[in-house]
Amino acid sequence: MLRSHWHATLHQAPLPGIDLPSTADVVVVGAGVVGAATALWLTRAGLQPLVIDRHGPAAGASGHNGGILAAGLAENYLAATARYGASTARELYALSLAGQRLMVDLIQQEQIECDLRLHGNLNLAIGEAQLTIAGATVAALQGDGFPAQLLDRTTAQELVAIPLGAAVSGARFNPAAGTLHSGRLVYGLLAAAQRHGALCSWGVTLRQVITANGRLHLITDRGTIDTAAAVIAVNAWSGDVLPELARRITMVRGQVLCTVPVEPFIACGFGASFTPTGEYGQQTVTGQVLFGGCRAIAPNHDVGVQPGEVSPEVQGALETSLGRLFPTLAGINIERRWSGAMAFTADYLPIVVNPVPGLFAIGGFSGHGMPFAAIVGRHLAEAVQTGTIPSALAPFRIDRPTLAVE
């Protein structure tokens, strides 16, 4: 597997792990950002979770993503309103906004050093048609009381210290956004959970969950864990352990490149839509420009593809698109390339299930899980304590009308 910038620059001691115990208060399966946040909330509720992961912390999407923590949904707000209806779209956006703020709170409260910079996100419009859509999106967001600004090209340029490409017509600015070091975030959340009593076992793969005498038995490749409750947060791999999610959550390989360091030129995250599936990026605190997206260039090569390698088509498109956004970066040397496993659902929202008492699972964040992780983790910890999925997660229920499968 190609190493991501986040793993290559982690500079942290490994998080301690223990041999797999045969019993636990509650088990969290998956040490991505969602599992890590869930474990932290469980410890805050006085429980001692056992976190297991097939590999280790941030081995999945969370350690291979763009590091953008932005309120909002996988889809543009206008598209989301058309798909879910106005009131659900508003509810979902509010959840993402609360989630983005809650993650910032967790980072600050637990003093997680993850290069968090809250400078917003600049969604650059390419051509006049995209600027018109950006304007309508900003109007809809503002109309519903959410922070958003429409910037003309001159104002957008003021946020960027190198020239914007000729095709950039303006931008939609999301103030409720920031960038961070995704690897250090996950390590920091897990380290905080461990400080508060969580235990971790690495290199443990969950195969199956069975119930007996009101208890859950988690069958792993290292033995069976007997527990009263478990949260499965394995995202793109959900279908491997819960057959009911196999048809609903599709693994999609996302790709990223990272340039050699350059002088600081942008403090906020940025995005654009050269392809229908979109592009996103940030300049890291050490100067590299991290840029991902362009999946639509090779749709049949990324849907259902395991992460690991990158494809020349997508990587070439990323380099071209980066040069079109910022012409002085055209042809810049690339330090690193990698891919990660996103988990898509038919309507771009995650799915939460409670298949048997005590067992909860969530996955399918559709390439936009960062703003949801902290709040979803808090609600999942609540679910473990109450035995039911809290109403705040109702938009993610599997029987929602927008998730029809033929």
What is the nearest approach in angstroms of ligand FAD to the Cβ of residue 108? 19
H helical segments located in 15-169:
33-44, 77-84, 86-109, 127-143, 153-158
The answer to whether 380 contacts ligand FAD (rule: CB under 6 A) is: no
Residue from 293, 280, 296, 341 nearest 68 by CA: 280
Residue from 300, 358, 309, 296 nearest 64 by CA: 309
Among residues 165, 369, 377, 395, the one that binds ligand FAD under rule CB under 6 A? 369
Among residues 240, 313, 335, 382, the one that binds ligand FAD under rule CB under 6 A? 240
Among residues 236, 294, 322, 384, the one that binds ligand FAD under rule CB under 6 A? 236
The answer to whether 15 contacts ligand FAD (rule: CB under 6 A) is: no
Nearer to ligand FAD, 33 or 325 (CB): 33
Judged by CB under 6 A, the chain residues 101 through 140 that form the site for ligand FAD are none
Counted residue by residue, the chain has a size of 406
Query: Quick one: CA dihedral 158, 160, 165, 167, positive or negative?
Result: negative
Judged by CB under 6 A, the chain residues 44 through 73 that form the site for ligand FAD are 52-55, 59-62, 64-68
Nearer to ligand FAD, 78 or 305 (CB): 305
Pairing of strands 279-283, 269-272: antiparallel
The answer to whether 234 contacts ligand FAD (rule: CB under 6 A) is: yes
The answer to whether 342 contacts ligand FAD (rule: CB under 6 A) is: yes
The answer to whether 292 contacts ligand FAD (rule: CB under 6 A) is: yes
Question: 76 — phi, psi (to 5°)?
Answer: -55, 150
Residue from 374, 377, 379, 382 nearest 393 by CA: 379
Query: Which amino acid, residue 278?
Result: G
Instruction: Please give the Cα distance from 371 to 269 (Å, whole number).
Output: 14
Among residues 10, 20, 24, 34, the one that binds ligand FAD under rule CB under 6 A? 34
The answer to whether 367 contacts ligand FAD (rule: CB under 6 A) is: yes
Residue from 346, 277, 342, 350 nearest 305 by CA: 342
What is the nearest approach in angstroms of ligand FAD to the Cβ of residue 35? 5
Instruction: Please give the Cα distance from 71 to 83 (Å, whole number).
Output: 18
What is the nearest approach in angstroms of ligand FAD to the Cβ of residue 226? 17
Nearer to ligand FAD, 54 or 324 (CB): 54
Q: Do residues 288 and 260 make contact, with C-beta atoms less than 8 angstroms apart?
A: yes
Count of residues binding ligand FAD (CB under 6 A)?
42
Instruction: Please give the Cα distance from 190 to 186 (Å, whole number).
Output: 6
Nearer to ligand FAD, 59 or 169 (CB): 59
For the record, the structure tokens of 207 come out as: 């195969």
The answer to whether 33 contacts ligand FAD (rule: CB under 6 A) is: yes
What is the nearest approach in angstroms of ligand FAD to the Cβ of residue 82? 22
Instruction: Please give the Cα distance from 135 to 171 (Å, whole number).
Output: 9
Q: Do residues 360 and 384 make contact, with C-beta atoms less than 8 angstroms apart?
A: yes
Judged by CB under 6 A, the chain residues 261 through 280 that form the site for ligand FAD are 280
Instruction: Please give the Cα distance from 117 to 104 (Å, whole number).
Output: 10
The answer to whether 29 contacts ligand FAD (rule: CB under 6 A) is: yes
Segment contacting ligand FAD (CB under 6 A): 80-88, 109-117, 133-141, 237-245?
Answer: 237-245
- Concatenated DSSP letters for 368-389? --HHHHHHHHHHHHHHHHHSS-
Among residues 49, 183, 340, 377, the one that binds ligand FAD under rule CB under 6 A? 340
In the block, residue with structure tokens 């900003």 = 138
Segment contacting ligand FAD (CB under 6 A): 192-200, 298-306, 352-360, 362-370?
Answer: 362-370
For the record, the structure tokens of 189 come out as: 């959340």
What is the nearest approach in angstroms of ligand FAD to the Cβ of residue 263? 23
What is the nearest approach in angstroms of ligand FAD to the Cβ of residue 29? 5
Judged by CB under 6 A, the chain residues 303 through 332 that form the site for ligand FAD are none
What is the nearest approach in angstroms of ligand FAD to the Cβ of residue 93? 14
Question: What DSSP character marks residue 332?
Answer: P
Nearer to ligand FAD, 148 or 290 (CB): 290
Question: 144 — phi, psi (to 5°)?
Answer: -95, 10
Q: Which stretches of the chain bind ligand FAD, using CB under 6 A?
A: 29-35, 52-55, 59-62, 64-68, 205-206, 233-237, 240-241, 254, 256, 280, 292, 340-342, 365, 367-371
